[in-house]
Amino acid sequence: MTLEPVLTAEEMRAAEQRAITAGTSEWELLQSAGKGCAAEITAFANGKRVTVLCGPGNNGGDGYVIAEALRKKGVSVRVVALTEAETPTAAKARDCYNSDVESAHSDVEGDILVDCLFGTGLSRPLDPDAHHLLMRNAALHQTVVAVDLPSGVVSNTGEILNGELPKYDYTFALGSWKNAHFLMPSSALLGKRIRVGLGLEFGDVSGHLFGKPAPTPPDFNAHKYSRGMVAIVGGEMHGAAILASEAAMRAGAGYVKLAGDTEHPAVPADLVVDPGPLEEVLGDKRLDAVLIGPGLGRNDTAKAKLEAVFVSGKPAVFDADALHLITPAMFETSERRCHVLTPHEGELAVLCEAFGIDRNTKLEKARKLAETTGCVVAAKGADTIVAAPSAPIRFFKPASSWLSAAGTGDVLAGVVVSRMAAGEPPLEAASQAVWLHGEAARQLGPAFTAGELARQMRHALATCL
Ligand SMILES: NC(=O)C1=CN([C@@H]2O[C@H](COP(=O)(O)OP(=O)(O)OC[C@H]3O[C@@H](n4cnc5c(N)ncnc54)[C@H](O)[C@@H]3O)[C@@H](O)[C@H]2O)[C@@H](O)CC1
Ligand SMILES: Nc1ncnc2c1ncn2[C@@H]1O[C@H](COP(=O)(O)OP(=O)(O)O)[C@@H](O)[C@H]1O
Ligand SMILES: [K+]
């Protein structure tokens, strides 16, 4: 499994400062950044006219270096400066650009627009003139490139301060990924994300991009129980628990049991249905992990089932309806285990209300909920993140928007519980599940159903073995 650092602006500045203290100058870093971006742009700039918009800080400095590197390679370049270069390094880069710099009054027609107005230093919305400059010129170019970040995006949160920004074709993350590269709403703007390395050391960081996991196949002498046994608690709507079971059967566990009196025609022959008392199912010593929530309902029976799961002390995944029924008291009366919560945006809001969490962003809500409950929190959506107590946040490359189909969340929950039963700690189980879910969706292409997604899971798993 690969974990690439994802940094806040403060962590990025600290890493740059450490490099500077160790003897690499800011000028050298700017040169690496600008030349790295220019090399990427050259790959698609053949015969094209490039316009570089430069701001006052070091993001603008990158722009002058990019422009000079492209100019030297014979690319047709024009540079438009919003204002004078304000940092010494950006001013030096401006002086080293051996051609004219145009004022921000001129609109420039061209093929590729390179946005170097603001990066991690953005501290307020773009002034109207800067915003108009960006929007007007983006409309006059076919391809739009963001250097480090689209100007107007807040690096730590992904917030867009100016309401409207262009859609970018490429975003070059300088040195390291930043939170905004994976958080909504900015994530939807970025186009292809490319990291341009600067040779910096990062040490402990607050976030990681979770790459392809490395699950292990069953042991040579594995049997169904040693591979992991899952119980999925059924409820009022049978389809959701069946979908979760279908996914769990294909994500590593050796034995998946649906606990309930389900006689639904969609129950496959290879799924064990146990209509016996839930306490007995949960009391099975061989049982490794439980999922409750998909199709559960929210009545008294559902609540009693949820309490039984807490009382059993088994590691559990709580999804869907279970997230509406969970109370802080349930955690207090049961053995403290590291469970997994899989809320979408609405369920995350409900949980924050239930646990008295008052935070503004998805990132902060998920982090605080993980700390408060001791659970791993997979906060779903177009920018799924996984938070765990005292651990860096896990980010993911964006998954297919075709996942926005009913039942795909049930599938995810089934994969999480399956990976837990297969022996993965909760943080790994949740992260692997999010990755596998995204990979299965990628393989399926457009307009798949949740059932097809569940059945694709073994092919997603196969890519990791
Ligand atoms: N510091 C370094 O060593 C390196 C920095 N790099 C580049 O430098 C960027 C960060 O540079 P800076 O810290 O100079 O910041 P920016 O270039 O992002 O912003 C410049 C300055 O503009 C002002 N400002 C912020 N928002 C504004 C607004 N809406 N309107 C007008 N002025 C505003 C602030 O004072 C800010 O410091 C990174 O994103 C990256 O592109 C890279 O070249 C790598 C090396
Ligand atoms: N636009 C999107 N891009 C990427 N993933 C998405 C998008 N919309 C939804 N998803 C994913 O699809 C799943 C939907 O889960 P959920 O909202 O619980 O749906 P349901 O309850 O219908 O199963 C989540 O894993 C979520 O991250
Ligand atoms: K920028």
Same domain assignment for residues 45 and 100: yes
Q: In this structure, what are the phi and psi dihedrals at residue 100, rounded to the nearest 5 degrees?
A: -75, 150
Helix (H, G, I), strand (E, B) or coil at 172: strand
Residues in the chain: 465
Q: What is the pTM of this model?
A: 0.96
| Same domain flag for 141 and 35 | yes
What is the model's pLDDT at position 261?
83
| Gap between the Cα atoms of 254 and 224, Å rounded | 4
Could you give the CA distance from residue 308 to residue 407 in angstroms, rounded to a whole number? 25
Nearest listed ligand to the Cα of residue 124: 1
Pairing relation of β-strands 49-54 and 112-116?
parallel
Out of 122, 151, 202, give the residue to mutate to test ligand 1, the one with the largest number of ligand atoms within 8 Å of its CB. Answer: 122
Q: Which of 179, 210, 241 is the last residue of a domain?
A: 210
Residue 201 sits in the same domain as residue 245:
no
Note whether residue 215 is domain-resident: no
Q: Are residues 345 and 428 in the same domain?
A: yes
- Tell whether 80 is covered by a domain: yes
Amino acid in the structure at residue 104:
A
pLDDT value at residue 294: 98
Which ligand is located closest to the Cα atom of residue 24?
1
Q: Which of 145, 180, 210 is the last residue of a domain?
A: 210
Q: Are residues 290 and 349 in the same domain?
A: yes
Q: Do 205 and 302 have their domain in common?
A: no
Q: 333 and 391: one domain? A: yes
In sequence order, what E strands does 8-90 have?
A: 49-54, 76-81
Instruction: Answer whether residue 217 is part of any domain.
Output: no
Same domain, 191 and 281: no
| CA-wise closest residue to 114 among 28, 38, 195 | 38
Residue whose C-alpha is closest to residue 17's, from 150, 9, 91: 9
**Tokens of residue 94, six digits:** 């401006």
Q: What is the ipTM of this complex?
A: 0.95
Note whether 230 and 376 are same-domain residues.
Answer: yes
- Please check whether residue 150 is in contact with residue 171, taking contact to mean a CB–CB distance below 8 angstroms: yes
Q: Please, which residues bridge with residue 318 across strands?
A: 292, 341
CA distance 113 to 134: 9
Distance 62 CA to ligand 3 centre (A): 9
User: Is residue 351 one of the residues assigned to a domain?
Assistant: yes
Whether 56 is in the pocket of ligand 1, judged by its Cβ within 6 Å, is: yes
Averaged pLDDT, groups of 10, the chain, 465 residues long: 95 97 97 98 96 98 98 97 97 97 89 98 96 96 98 98 95 98 98 97 96 94 94 94 97 97 86 95 97 97 96 96 96 80 98 97 97 96 97 98 98 98 97 98 98 98 97
Q: Measuring from atom 4 of ligand 2, which residue has the nearest CA?
A: 382
Query: Is 150:190 a contact under the CB 8 Å cutoff?
Result: yes
Residue 355, SS3? Answer: coil
pLDDT score for 285: 96
Among positive and negative, which fits the CA dihedral 56, 158, 175, 390? positive
135 and 54 co-located in one domain: yes
How far apart are the CA of 210 and the centre of ligand 3, in A?
Answer: 25
Looking at residue 375, which CATH number applies to its domain? 3.40.1190.20
* H-helix segments, 250-377: 278-283, 300-312, 321-325, 328-333, 345-354, 362-373
**Which parts of 43-179 are beta strand (E)?**
49-54, 76-81, 101-103, 112-116, 143-147, 170-174, 177-178
Structural domain including 158 reads 3-210
Domain shared by 315 and 407, yes or no: yes
Question: Which ligand places an atom closest to the C-alpha of 433?
Answer: 2
Residues 194 and 246 in one domain: no
The protein residues having their C-beta less than 5 angstroms from ligand 3 (an ion) are 115, 147, 151
Indicate the angle between helix axes 345-354 and 362-373, nearest 10 degrees: 50
What gap in Å lies between CA 267 and CA 464, rounded to an integer?
Answer: 28
Residues with CB under 6 A from ligand 2: 320, 344, 380-382, 384, 399, 401, 403-404, 406-410, 412, 437
Locate 457 and state its tokens: 């899971």
Q: Work out how many domains the chain is built from and give that number.
A: 2
DSSP run (H or E) holding 453: helix 450-462
Tokens coding 407: 């039942």
CATH number at residue 91: 3.40.50.10260
Half-sphere exposure of 383 (CA within 13 A, CB side): 21
Q: Rounded to 5 degrees, what angle do the CA atoms 361, 138, 39 make?
A: 90
Query: Is residue 219 domain-resident?
Result: no
Counting from 1 in the atom list of ligand 2, the atom nearest the Cα of 450 is 23
- Tell me if 145 is assigned to some domain: yes
Residue 134 lies in a domain: yes
Q: What is the pLDDT of residue 331?
A: 87
Q: Which amino acid is at 395?
A: F
CB count in 10 Å sphere of residue 276: 10
Q: Which of 210, 245, 278 is the last residue of a domain?
A: 210
Taking the C-alpha atoms of residue 96 and residue 58, their distance in angstroms, rounded to an integer, is 14
Residue nearest to atom 37 of ligand 1 (CA): 121
172-208: pLDDT as tens digits? 999 999 999 999 999 999 999 999 999 999 989 999 9
Instruction: Measure the CA angle with vertex 456, ends 450 and 461; round to 5°.
Output: 130
